[in-house]
Amino acid sequence: MATHTTKTCPVTGDPLGDWPVTAAEDVRAAVERARAAQPAWNDLGLERRLERLDRLSTALRDRLDDFAERISRDTGKPPVEALATELLSVPLFLDHYRRTAPDVLARKPVPNPIPLPGKRAWAGWFPMGVIGIISPWNFPFQLSIIPAISALIGGNTVVLKPSEVTPLTTEVLQELVDAAALPDHVFQIIPGDGSTGAALVEANIDKIFFTGSLATGRKVMRAAAERPIPVELELGGKDAFIVCEDAPLRRAARGAVWGGLLNAGQMCISVERILVVDAVYDRFVSMLEDEVSQVRVGPPDESPDMGAMTFPPQLDTVDRHVKDAVERGARLLAGGRRLRDRGLFYAPTLVADVTPEMAIWREETFGPVLPVIRVRDEAEAIARANDHEFGLTASVWTRDQERGLRIAESLHCGQVMINDVVLGVGNPALPFGGVKGSGIGRYHGPEGLTSFMHRRAIMADRGLLSADPTWYPYAGKYEALRAIIEAFIDRSPLPLFKAGTDAIRSRLGG
């Protein structure tokens, strides 16, 4: 078993060092520490937990430039993207949950339709316990910290296994947690490789939250089923970008290029299928060519629009998809090649006339490639968008908002944007997650809190009667109960109440 992992800089190709792999026994020890710390953390109460977690934002303020530079060096993304897509998430989500968590997690009364007096009912929440999180390399800070914060707010403790591909960001996370001075063992970070993640799933945790590939997600789900524990899976995507004939074409072209090349296309929500109706296809493809030609690629010190890719094997996948598409008849209109002698740079790539038999249509590319598909009309665009194993995000481009909403509600995916792209995932009030091969569960929004909680139902009686009328003995009660059932079936509230109270007073006893 490996004891360390090695990291090279995606920008220069230079070695950055070795990082330790947490062994299985140490993973189990971390989980047990988290379990011991959880009751006291929960007992603080919501307001005091939120106050403690606010220290993450305070600690972040003085380190923004340092953290942005290190995340950039670790991932290859421009520093401005490190700020916008990674570090901004902490104050944004903490501010949102500070305002909404007290209501979301409050115990609330619920109706009690049982026709007996003196009954009340409530529904509330309580923490699952110890949450295991396995996070990916494409947004190694944001996709680690947001599920962790969400779980911690509800009174859970967290053991996080970040990606071994981005160890510099793991150090940033650890330094931020240390600076926030959270109680001991409430939020632990265990660096390592796949063996560390497997040990975490098999340890004594109460839920696993996994973000990554569909193939690994299946392995996580199988392992979790052995206990069993709840699983939340945030997996792949193949975003459908539907361009109607009345679309604001220039805005759509700019949105497609940004949404497809942001983070060098390494996003589960990247624009990966641009479905354009025939009436505007040629004009729109020309606009895409123009926009792609203006994207500047380079290392962070050149203030680029797009930086390097992060994970060497992913570069090979991108290359394979583009070559397969061209061999099968697609037109390569821009890019399609690696850039520079060193580092993981790939040219912004535009591929037109893509068809469903191509790998670039079927598989997640996860790179800076814009595949364009011609469709006859809106109906074909919807059918093509839905005919895929993934169902995470999509966007619809039209000047008619009603049309946009109608198409959005026809798409089999977890989130749809109209005349916009990507930013829906950054809205902390909106739930995020997919269907089909894109995963199970939702986070962000209210679900971002409740997905780490158990529901607790409470029912109470005022205790005024010595026994409920429906308790023993049953003698003489059949007809009265039958009348209550008939009242329910007839949907007659007043007769129901009368039947219930009369039965209670005169026939069921007191």
List the catalytic residues: 234, 268
Please tell me the distance from the alpha carbon of residue 203 to that of residue 224, in angstroms, as a whole number. Answer: 10
Please tell me the distance from the alpha carbon of residue 407 to that of residue 405, in angstroms, as a whole number. Answer: 5
Give the count of beta carbons closer than 10 Å to the beta carbon of residue 23: 16
Can you say how many angstroms the Cα of residue 149 is from the centroid of all Cα atoms in its chain?
13
| Token duo for residue 28 | 């189990």
Return the sign of the alpha-carbon dihedral for residues 134, 136, 137, 143: negative
Helix (H/G/I), strand (E/B), else coil: 443: strand
Backbone φ and ψ for 206, nearest 5 degrees, come out as: -105, -15
- Looking at 181-238, list the stretches that DSSP marks H as alpha helix, in order from N- to C-terminal side: 194-202, 214-225
Please tell me the distance from the alpha carbon of residue 218 to that of residue 236, in angstroms, as a whole number. Answer: 12
Helix (H/G/I), strand (E/B), else coil: 43: helix
Angle (CA) 344 272 214, round 5°: 80
Give the count of beta carbons closer than 10 Å to the beta carbon of residue 142: 23
Give the count of beta carbons closer than 10 Å to the beta carbon of residue 226: 9
Beta strands at 15-20 and 4-8: parallel, antiparallel or unpaired: antiparallel
Give the count of beta carbons closer than 10 Å to the beta carbon of residue 37: 19
The amino acid occupying position 370 is L
Paired with 210 in beta bridges are 134, 233
| Token duo for residue 337 | 């090649």
Instruction: Tally helices (H) and strands (E) across the chain.
Output: 18, 22
> Which of 392, 382, 377, 434 has the alpha carbon at shortest distance from 271?
392
Can you say how many angstroms the Cα of residue 436 is from the centroid of all Cα atoms in its chain?
14
> Do 475 and 485 touch, CB atoms closer than 8 A?
no
DSSP character at residue 395: E
- Looking at 299-388, list the stretches that DSSP marks H as alpha helix, in order from N- to C-terminal side: 312-327, 359-362, 378-386
Residues 6+ apart with CB under 8 A from 390: 235, 236, 237, 238, 364, 434, 436, 437, 438
> Which of 277, 261, 274 has the alpha carbon at shortest distance from 349?
261
Please tell me the distance from the alpha carbon of residue 369 to that of residue 273, in angstroms, as a whole number. Answer: 10
| Token duo for residue 353 | 């006339």
DSSP character at residue 262: G
Please tell me the distance from the alpha carbon of residue 343 to that of residue 320, in angstroms, as a whole number. Answer: 18
